Amino acid sequence: MQRPLQQWVYRRAIGIGYRMVDCRLEGRAPPLSLRIANRIAYLVAFRNIRRMIGLDRCRIAFTGAAPIAPELIRWYLALGIDMHEVYGQTENCGVATMMPADKIKLGSVGTAVPWGEVALSPAGEILIKGDFLFMGYLNQPEKTAETIDSRGWLHTGDVGTIDNEGFVRITDRMKDIIITSGGKNITPSEIENQLKFSPYISDAVVIGDKRPYLTCLVMIDQENVEKFAQDHDIPFTNYASLCRAREIQDLIGREIEHVNGNFARVETIKRFYLIERQLTPEDEELTPTMKLKRGFVNKRYAAEIEAMYRERAVA
């Protein structure tokens, strides 16, 4: 009986927290009744949740290095934790952009810090300038000249946009841009990041350079997919058989179709392949942080990729 009550209290409290967040994102002052309700929500729920995740004394938090789901930031804000996205590189000694405290735009990494500048190249590459840039790579003058141009701009290698208020949004890496056989430029990491927000997808690599349409290699989230299989009485004997199960193929297919709905038709994934090997950081396909290496998996799974395009052509 206690657990259903706790769940009910959490749902009511987080709903109040989200309403407070909506006011903040829209630049509106929350009404007194909502502020009082939020204080009660903090006392009966948020305080304990923050203590459980070790952030009961946290006043402000920052996230960077990898994309984060906007909904997750909303959740932290609802708990009363100021979670801000930041962006920077080793070559600029840390932070180049930061989300301002008085205006939050989810999906962006904020605006340029006071001690630096941010701009876009004609190709859409994010450029950084300021006294916080490094002097160069040790004994590598050619590489240094490639990274910092004659006007003092650091070429980050990231593709992005800057809106009329100066908020920076990162869409991809320059080297990862896909150009389809039809000449369409596509930023795969934007699609991949949305796929990885699914609880059933651990990682994904979008394929399509010089191809007529996009396909995808998917690494499932083993724990969540196994639980789904157990909850739905789906038989499997090992990791490979789990990936091959028709119900699991359909599950991942639905997740991909959900993401496809957020993109133009030319940017949608037409076919996918589930990697059937259970990968660890020791495997060459993965980085130490368990991310698929784009170039390596393109070579390792070349036969599976070609099969996806042959099957589509026959269909």
177-314 — its CATH code? 3.30.300.30
Contact 256, 195 (CB under 8 A): yes
So where are the chain's domains?
A: 2-78, 88-174, 177-314
Q: Give me 297's structure tokens.
A: 């998996």
Can you give the pLDDT at residue 168? Answer: 94
* Residues 6+ positions from 87 with CB-CB distance below 8 Å: 64, 95, 96, 97, 98, 109, 110, 168, 170
How does pLDDT run across 114-132, given as a tens digit for each residue?
A: 989 999 998 889 999 998 8
C-beta contacts of 61-69 below 8 A and 24+ residues apart: 62/86, 62/98, 64/88, 64/95, 64/109, 67/170, 67/189, 67/193, 67/196, 69/197
Say which CATH topology domain 88-174 has: Luciferase; domain 3 (2.30.38)
Can you give the pLDDT at residue 146? Answer: 86
- Residue 186 banded pLDDT, cuts 50, 70, 90: confident
Can you give the pLDDT at residue 286? Answer: 67
pLDDT exceeds 80 at position 278:
no
- In this prediction, residues 41-52 reach a mean pLDDT of 94
* Residues 6+ positions from 84 with CB-CB distance below 8 Å: 60, 61, 62, 63, 98, 99, 101, 104, 110
Could you tell me which of 212, 199, 187, 194 has the C-alpha nearest to residue 294? 187
Residues above pLDDT 90, as percent of the chain:
55
More reliable by pLDDT, 163 or 178: 163
How does pLDDT run across 290-313, given as a tens digit for each residue?
A: 677 777 788 888 899 999 988 654
CA distance 155 to 213: 30
Can you give the pLDDT at residue 225? Answer: 95
CA distance 315 to 312: 5
How does pLDDT run across 78-103, given as a tens digit for each residue?
A: 999 999 999 998 898 889 999 998 88
Could you tell me which of 159, 157, 97 has the C-alpha nearest to residue 84? 97
More reliable by pLDDT, 140 or 289: 140
Q: For the stretch 171-187, what's the b/e string if a residue is b when 16 or more beta carbons lie within 10 angstroms of its beta carbon?
A: bbbbebbbebeeeeebb
Can you give the pLDDT at residue 314? Answer: 42
- In this prediction, residues 191-210 reach a mean pLDDT of 90
* Residues 6+ positions from 232 with CB-CB distance below 8 Å: 247
Contact 118, 168 (CB under 8 A): yes
Please spell the DSSP secondary structure of 107-127, one letter per residue: TS--EE-TT-EEEE-TT-EEE
Q: How far apart are the first and last CA of the chain?
A: 53
- Tell how far CA 104 is from the center of its chain: 17
- Residue 107 banded pLDDT, cuts 50, 70, 90: confident
Task: Give 222's Cβ-side CA count (13 Å radius).
Answer: 10
pLDDT exceeds 70 at position 315:
no
pLDDT exceeds 50 at position 63:
yes
Can you give the pLDDT at residue 312? Answer: 52
Q: Give me 77's structure tokens.
A: 């804000």
CB atoms within 10 A of CB 247: 14
Can you give the pLDDT at residue 4? Answer: 83
CA distance 144 to 137: 6
Can you give the pLDDT at residue 181? Answer: 84
- Residue 1 banded pLDDT, cuts 50, 70, 90: very low
Measured CA angle at 209 (ends 206, 214), to 5 deg = 45
- In this prediction, residues 155-160 reach a mean pLDDT of 89
How does pLDDT run across 212-249, given as a tens digit for each residue?
A: 999 999 999 999 999 999 999 999 999 999 999 999 99
Lowest-confidence region among 163-167, 190-194, 227-231, 291-295:
291-295
Q: What is the pTM of this model?
A: 0.69
